Structure 1
Amino acid sequence: MTFEVLAGALLIGFLGSTHCIGMCGGISGALGLAPASGGPVWRYLWGYSAGRIMTYGLIGALVGAFGAVVAPSMGPLRVLAGVMLILMAFYLADWWRGLVWLERGGAVIWRRLQPLGRALLPVRSTGQSLLLGALWGWLPCGLVYSALTYALAQGDALASGATMVAFGLGTLPAVLLTGAAAAQTRQWVQKKWVRNLSAVLLLLFGAWTIWGASGHAGHGDNSGHEGHDMQSEPVEKQQHHHHGHH
């Protein structure tokens, strides 16, 4: 786990926030604009967001543990993560909608959880908003699935969980602003140039991830050969010296 990985996950969440406005903005807006108890708006918004990010961290830890077992070599997984980021960029800009099928697959789980979410509305306490956020963290979302692939590539439960928490923090500004100023925020982030700019930056990050994975794999192979040569050379010299002595 490096700062670079966490910064990358934060960037994915932030750049993909235009997508979050459509997927989670309505929920956040409902919490922010109509708290049933009449309590402070921000208390419910933070409860919702904290629950959502905790779910992201849990799912990240699960996929990280899975990745550590099934794929000891992380190179291919990092390439897959880069490809998913590129596909997400195309999805954000509405250039290609292929990731919709992933969201449809996740809808199977969501159909079972959705009734639990309805039972928590209207929200009357911070605890309710926290639980609602934890449930909504399972909402089928192409952006979350792309981030999960990036987390999977870390190949460790703790590192993958931390990666998804960083991703969730990246989405926080857009979701909180949507709750506080739903109409104005949605109008701005849905502008074509904003979505296209986010998509291009995400596209570049995906390409950089693939390039970094390829370079890392090559470096690892070379270092392994060099290490073998360096270890074998002294042994040969020692053997030669030993025979010469006798």
Structure 2
Amino acid sequence: MSNNEIAFFIGLFGSVHCIGMCGPLAFAVPVSQNRWWYVVADKLLYNTGRVITYTFLGLLIGFVGKQLWLYNLQQGVSLISGMLIITAGFSRLFKLQITGLKFTPHLLKPVNRLLQYALQHRAGHLVIGLLNGFLPCGFVYLALVGAVNTSSPANAASYMFWFGVGTFPLMLAATISSGFVGPVVRRRVNRAMPYLMVCLGFWFILRGLNLDIPYLSPAKQSSSVGVCR
């Protein structure tokens, strides 16, 4: 399975969680008209805005990943990423509080202010979607960890684009139908997500070990950076 396919499925499964977290914001944005095609167009713009922001974040994190690849540190990063993801998965399974993240509300203030301003001035679904993509979300962080393990900003942007595409179908359907996925389904998927996180974390560790297993743990590629010929 390729990196982009992994990103797509993270987005697809994580979008059930996103409906509960980001759905109310999408529902709060008034549609331009009540006709169904206007509703669909507005929700398409909202979700397109999210995907654009995710792609932009991937591009930014990709510059970090590129430096890691240039200095031949990607193996260690993959191992550390895997351990962090497994830790996060176990913390959700056993309901452990690892850190309070007390700084999060301060980071949220600028985005919340922009969102309030955009809603008050009817900035439109595209702008709301763009801003919504910057809100902290565990699954976005999970996707960004995967993106930083890619070899270039373009690959990282592609990774986050496919993550966003994965969130697109369910979020679009939910925002159009005002949340057709009920709380029971969301609870079941949310219960399954820690297991997915643990599996993904082990995959990152295996990839970092370079065991020469095709697709699962490919052999380490030799780097020619800094070699004079």
* TM-score interval (norm. to shorter): 0.7 to 0.9
**Aligned residue for 1:236?**
none
Distance in 1 separating the partners of 2:191 and 2:94? 9
What residue identity is the alignment partner of 2:165?
L
- Cα shift readout 1:154-207 (whole Å, capped 9, x = no counterpart): 13111111111111111122322321233431424323x332223323321221
Which one of 181, 192, 197 corresponds to residue 192 of structure 2? 197
Alignment-mate amino acid for residue 75 of structure 2: G
The partner residue of 1:60 within 58, 61, 68 is 58
Question: CA, structure 1 residues 179+96, in 2 after alignment: closer, same or farther (shift >3 Å)?
Answer: farther
SS in 2 for 1:185: coil
List runs of 5+ in structure 1 lacking aligned partners. Answer: 225-246
Correspondent of 1:108 among 102, 106, 109: 106
Corresponding letter in the other structure for 1:131:
V
What's the CA shift string for 1:58-82, capped at 9, x where partnerless? 1111111022225532111222332
What is the RMSD of the two structures over their aligned residues, measured on CA atoms? 2.9
1:45 aligns with 43
1:152 match: 148
- Does 1:80 pair with 2:75? no
Cα distance, 1:218–1:167 mapped onto 2, change above 3 Å? closer
Q: Which amino acid letter does the alignment assign opposite residue 49 of structure 2?
A: G
Superposition pairs for residues 1-246 of structure 1, below 5 Å? 4-31=2-29, 34-38=30-34, 40-70=38-68, 72=71, 73-90=73-90, 95-98=95-98, 101=101, 105-121=103-119, 128-191=124-187, 193-215=188-210, 219-220=219-220
The sequence identity of aligned pairs, in percent, is 26
| TM-score for the superposition, normalised by structure 2 | 0.79
Higher helix share: 1
Tell me the secondary structure at the aligned position of residue 83 of structure 2. helix
Counterpart position of 2:214: none
1:11 Cα deviation (Å)? 1.4
TM-score, normalization: structure 1?
0.74
Q: How many residues align?
A: 214
